[in-house]
Chain A
């Protein structure tokens, strides 16, 4: 069983709260594929620092409001 990255995120929650934004729309905004957005939301992929900042900027929140460390 592959080990998941120890980074949690609220991407799906924020996306749905942001006018029910689609995964495709978010992907276009941050410059990644829809598959990558799916992987991020499922906790299967930790985005690069740049993509993490882009996600936070799309939702108008800070980085720590989107991402967290497992167990915190």
Chain B
């Protein structure tokens, strides 16, 4: 498995973990309130920060382990080339469809429920799903023939 495959798998894991934890916290607060709790800046910023930090840490750890295992020369060679760009473009294009569908569902939920809070969390969920699908699609395409 290449550096990028490991990195994107780790990123998918980080987003899934952070999104699940955030969803659980929001759900618990909503149950206590008996209504969908309004989003607050502190929780939202913490959610984004956790994803960024976990992903960055994962890439750093993978890079250092790869360099140790294969030698410094190999690590330098594993950059981002034409094949990585092609796979990245395909994965991004396809994951945009996942995000779009999620956003349309969120808008429909808003029309049905009329709740801005539900709209916010639905869109956030769509973005998280889009990010996870982008990462998984990259790994999928790395193992296909082109």
Residues of A within 8 A of B (CB): 2-5, 24, 27-28, 31-36, 39, 43-48, 51
Contacts and interface: CB of A to CB of B under 8 A. Distances in A.
B79 A44 contact: no
A67 B27 CA distance: 58
Interface in B64-85: 73-74, 77-84
Majority DSSP secondary structure for residues of A touching B? loop
B20 to A, nearest CB: 31
Contacts, number: 48
A33 B82 CA distance: 9
Contacts of A28: 77
A24 B73 contact: yes
11 contacts: A2-B145, A5-B145, A24-B77, A31-B81, A33-B2, A33-B81, A35-B4, A44-B145, A44-B146, A45-B146, A47-B82
